[in-house]
Amino acid sequence: MTTHERDFSASIDPVKLDRLAEVAVKVGVQLQPGQDVVLTASTDALPLARKIAEHAYKAGAGLVTPVFRDEQIVLSRFRDATFDGFDRAPEWLLGGVASAYADNAARIAVRGDDPSLLSGQDPDKVARANKADSLASRPALEKVTGFDINWTIVAYPGLAWAKQVFPGESDDVAVARLADAIFSASRIDGDDPVGNWREHNAALAKRTAWLNELNFDALHFTGPGTDLTVGLADGHEWMGGASTAKNGITCNPNIPTEEVFTTPHARRVSGHVSSTKPLSYQGTLIDEISVRFEEGRIVEAKASKGEDVLKKVLDTDEGARRLGEVALVPHSSPISKSGILFYNTLFDENASCHIALGQCYSKCFVNGASLSPDEIAARGGNKSFIHIDWMIGSGRIDIDGLHKDGRTVPLMRKGEWV
């Protein structure tokens, strides 16, 4: 038995793992009686996937359908498959997932894969495979980004991920430390994690109400390597924490979450910006990103690591070089204060202000549920096969809100709300 194949679940607090599964079901998707669930996870995350299924059925789930991804099988493809096979994706499977969402199935995704799984593989193969997956996933992705359904993402401490976060520790200790960090960030410490989330959602709702009242025309980010103006979409709406999907169910899409976010105007972004944390994308680590925007579009892009993959991602489609999200997170957020670099967007984006390339969330418009795709585009919403968050905030970033009449309102100084 290899180290990779050993079971490290004994290193993880079983009580807290059970609570995380309960939060995923009761807070993450707020599962309704009779509702089906599509549950995606890596094979390493099987202990959490099983617990989620258990809590889902206890909550009255109709059918829980797991879809698993195995890292060793993924690597076998990139090492041994014929070159022609990288422009394909399992459309039959992804089409089935889209059909499930169309029938009101909830989505629960468990993340915890090796952040650098594909870093040593041919970047051309990686880019082609990612593009094929993005194209085939589009019908399902639109149901998610359009908030047609209730959905959530939670995390499990896989060994390879744990060793990247805590490289100096033994395997058992690394997994245990990452598990504790996940549990803390996911607010499941204490006897009432569901109540903890109720209070946290109320605080985020108060922040979004304040930003919606201010109704800025744009945001201006300044700091080392950054002088970026992000125009906001016409009729944009700030969101944060719990959101009500079009099916009427209130869900928490990300566990954990510390952000408030909205939709940028796809054609009104200008200036330059540098990343402040590495981006782990589909098994490739992309670090020290630096891009320049003109009229909403990235016209120059560099990275110290993973640049080939980044540039191929930007060529996915027209919308891949434009923004679909801008999010504000204080530098003093609990995840930032932990001092841990997670190499995982679900966590690192909640330690830092960030932007996302690609598809916008139609939910982040006033009356967004009633808007057609053409109306969303007319208001500045972006359309793309991808949606990739990357971090641009730190304790050295200032942010101002800009009104149409030229008034400027300080929002953040040195990464903290004014």
Confidence (pLDDT) at 325: 97
DSSP code, position 1: -
Are residue 86 and residue 164 in the same domain, yes or no?
yes
176-208 CB burial, b ≥16 within 10 A, e <16? bbbbbbbbbbbbbeeeebeebbeebbeebeebb
What token pair was written down for 414? Answer: 């040195």
Distances (CA, A) of 396 to 127, 196, 270, 333, 415: 33, 30, 20, 15, 6
Q: What CATH number is attached to the domain comprising 88?
A: 3.40.1830.10
Are residue 88 and residue 223 in the same domain, yes or no?
no
Position 208 in a domain: no
**Domain count of the fold of the chain:** 2
Are residue 226 and residue 119 in the same domain, yes or no?
no
Cβ atoms of 253 and 153 closer than 8 Å: yes
Confidence (pLDDT) at 394: 95
Position 96 in a domain: yes
Mean pLDDT to the nearest integer, 68-72? 95
Query: What is the pTM assigned to this prediction?
Result: 0.86
Are residue 221 and residue 115 in the same domain, yes or no?
no
Position 252 in a domain: no
At residue 240, does pLDDT exceed 60?
Answer: yes
* Final residue before a domain boundary, out of 142, 164, 185: 185
Those residues whose C-beta lies under 8 Å from the C-beta of residue 385, and which sit 6 or more positions away, are 131, 134, 135, 137, 138, 141, 316, 317, 319, 320, 358, 359
For residue 321, the enclosing domain spans 215-238+259-417
Q: Which residue has the higher pLDDT, 368 or 293?
A: 293
Cβ atoms of 97 and 140 closer than 8 Å: yes
Are residue 224 and residue 361 in the same domain, yes or no?
yes
Tokens 């959490």 correspond to 48
Are residue 131 and residue 223 in the same domain, yes or no?
no
Report d(CA 317, CA 181) in Å as an integer. 36
At residue 6, does pLDDT exceed 80?
Answer: no
Position 295 in a domain: yes
Are residue 176 and residue 299 in the same domain, yes or no?
no
Position 219 in a domain: yes
At residue 377, does pLDDT exceed 90?
Answer: yes
Are residue 37 and residue 125 in the same domain, yes or no?
yes
Tokens 């976010």 correspond to 261
Are residue 112 and residue 174 in the same domain, yes or no?
yes
Are residue 24 and residue 74 in the same domain, yes or no?
yes
Tokens 């944060």 correspond to 240
Are residue 167 and residue 270 in the same domain, yes or no?
no
Position 56 in a domain: yes
Position 87 in a domain: yes
Query: 352: pLDDT confidence band, cut at 50, 70 and 90?
Result: very high
Those residues whose C-beta lies under 8 Å from the C-beta of residue 256, and which sit 6 or more positions away, are 185, 186, 187, 335, 346, 347, 350
> What share of the chain has pLDDT > 70, as a percent?
98
Are residue 113 and residue 73 in the same domain, yes or no?
yes
Bridge partner residues of 325 (DSSP): 356
